[in-house]
Amino acid sequence: MSEPWTLCIDFGTAFSKAAVAPSTSWNSFNPTQVRPLMLGGPGQGNSFLLDSAVFVDDDRILFGAAAVARAEALSAQKRMALKSFKTLLSVSDLERALNTGVPRSLDPHRTFVQRDLIVLYLAYLSAAIGRACAADPVLTRGVSFNCRYAAPAWRSGDSAGNHDVIVRLFGEGDAVRAALGSEVLAAQGLPLKTAIDAVTTARTADTSSAQMGLIYEATAAAAYTSIGLSDSASHLIVVDMGAGTTDIAAMSQTGGRLQELPEARVTLKQAGDFIDRVIANLALEASPELKTPQRQAELWRAMFQSMRDIKESLFLDGRVGFRHEGRLITITLKDLERDEDFKEFAANLERAYEHGLIVVRDHAKREKSRDLQAVAVGGGAFAPFIQKLIRRKPPSAGRLKVQPRPATPDWAHAPEFGGNLAPVFPQLAIAIGGALAPESMLAVRAGLSRPAAARTGTPPARD
C-alpha cells in the first residue's frame, strides 16, 4: 500500500478497541476498507475487544482476560486487577497521579507505581495491535500509520492538556513492546523481574518518534455516523454511553459542508460502571438476610462476575433473576428507575441531551433545515432509557423531525467479519469513527509517523 492509513485506538474503560482506515476515507468512503482490528486473539471472547486489565501475581504480570480471571479467582483474598485506569488519565495533575504507588490489593510487592502498570498494559495493547495487523489480509508490513487515540472531553478539554503526557505513556509502552516482542502476549504473562526491568528502562527511552493525535470520543462517534451515508439528515446528534463516561455530540451537514457543533458536546462521568453499582446495590437491598460484610461482599462479587448478562436480561426483558446462596433475587427495570441515584443520573443525562438538542434546533433553524437523526453508540446503546432518549424532540421543535437510527450499518454484517462485528459494533464506533475522521475534527493533531514495527521488520504496531 502506498497511501497512508489512519489508526485510532479507543482506550476504553472496560475494553480497548482499535480500527484502521485509509486516510482518504473522509472524502472517498469505501466501507470494505474499514478494518476494525481483532485485538483479543483466539479464545478470548469477542475478538474485537481487549480487556483493559493488569494483574500483579506472585511472580508474574497478567494482562487482559487472564488478568480478569485471576483477579476473580483470588477475590476472596481481596486481590484486584488494575481496571478502569482510563479514568486516571482525566485528573488535572496527571504526572503526580502516575507516580503514586498502588495499594497492596493491586500490587502485593509494593514495587510498581501507577505509571508502570499503565505502561505495561500499553505494551500489551501495542503488541495486540501488531498481531491484529499482521493477521489482516488487507494490511501489510511497512505501511505508514497516522496514529490517534480517542478520549472523553473531560472538564471542557483537560484531556487535551494532558495530551503530551499520554503520548509519552504510549511511547514508553511501545519501548517495552519493542524490547520484549511477542513475550508480552504470552498467555502466562510476563515474569515479574522482566516487567520491572522493562518499565525501568522505558522511563528513559527516547519516545520523540511517538506521534499521536487526539479526537474526542463523541466527535469520533459523530464522524462515524455521518460519513458515507447517502440518507443522512442535515443534522445528527449522538449519545455514547460506555463504561466510564457518557458523551454527547452533534454534527451538521448543510451547504455541502459537514461540521461538528462544539457547543453541543458534553461528557458525563457516569455511565455503565455506575449502573452496574446501582444494580448490585439493589440486589443487596433485596437480601436483608445477608447481615455480615463478608456475605454482602460475596454477593457483590458474584453480581459483578455476571453483570454483563444481568444487564442484558434486565434491559431486554424488563426483569432479571439472580440466584445466590440458594435464593432467587429478582430485580426489575422499575426497581432501577425508582432508585434515587439512578434518577439523579437519568436527570443529568436528560438535561445534557436536551442541551444538545437545543443547540441542534437553533442551528437547524438558522440553516432552514428540518431533519435530525439521532443515534446511540457504546456498550449502553441498547439500554431502554437511552433508546427513549434518542426519540425525544427538542422543545419548540417546530417542523424539525427527529428520526432515531440504528447504530450498526449494513456492512458490519459482511461475511468477512464472521458474525463477530455487528453485535459489538456500537462499542467499536468510537475507534472506527476516529479512524475515518479528518484532521480538522481532531482536538490535537499529529504528523504522519512510521510504525516502529515497520522499522524493525515486525508486524505494524502503533508508534
Of the candidates 219, 267, 258, which has an alpha carbon nearest to the alpha carbon of residue 363? 258
pLDDT digits (tens, 9 = 90+) for 247-290: 898 888 776 666 788 899 888 889 999 999 999 999 999 999 99
- pTM to 2 decimal places: 0.81
8 A C-beta contact, residue 110 and residue 100: no
356-375 in b/e form (b: 16+ CB < 10 A) is: bbbbbbebbeeeebebbbbb
Q: How many CB atoms lie within 10 A of CB 258?
A: 20
Report in angstroms the alpha-carbon separations of 373 from 379, 381, 398, 407: 20, 15, 16, 11
The full length of the chain comes to: 463
Q: What pLDDT, on a 0 to 100 scale, did the predictor assign at position 423?
A: 82
Residue pointed to by grid coordinates 472496560: 14
Distance of CA 362 to the CA centre of its chain: 31
Q: Report pLDDT for 357.
A: 94
* C-beta separation of 226 from 258 below 8 A: yes
Residue 308 DSSP SS3: helix
**pLDDT number for residue 142:** 59
Cβ atoms of residues 59 and 191 within 8 Å? yes
> 303 pLDDT exceeds 50?
yes
CA distance 245 to 180: 33
Q: List, in order of start, the domains of the chain with CATH numbers.
A: 5-212+417-456 (3.30.420), 232-270+347-408 (3.30.420.40), 272-340 (no CATH)
* pLDDT on residue 288: 92
Residue 320 and residue 310 in contact, taking contact as beta carbons nearer than 8 Å: yes
Give residue-wise pLDDT tens across range 333-370.
999 999 999 999 999 999 999 999 999 999 988 888 88
At residue 463 the predicted structure's pLDDT band, cuts being 50, 70 and 90, is very low
Do residues 358 and 263 lie in contact, with contact meaning Cβ atoms separated by under 8 Å?
no
Average pLDDT over residues 155-163: 61
Residue with the bigger pLDDT between 452 and 50: it is 50
Determine the pLDDT at residue 384.
Answer: 94
Which is nearest to 268 in space by CA: 392, 353, 159? 353
Range of 12-16, 135-139, 188-192 with top mean pLDDT: 188-192
In terms of C-beta distances under 8 Å and separation of at least 24 residues, what long-range contacts does 26-34 make, across chains too? 26/227, 26/436, 26/437, 26/438, 27/438, 29/227, 29/228, 29/436, 31/228, 31/409, 31/411, 32/411, 32/414, 33/138, 34/411, 34/432, 34/435, 34/436
Residue 157 pLDDT greater than 60, yes or no? no
Give the residue with greater pLDDT, 190 vs 73: 190
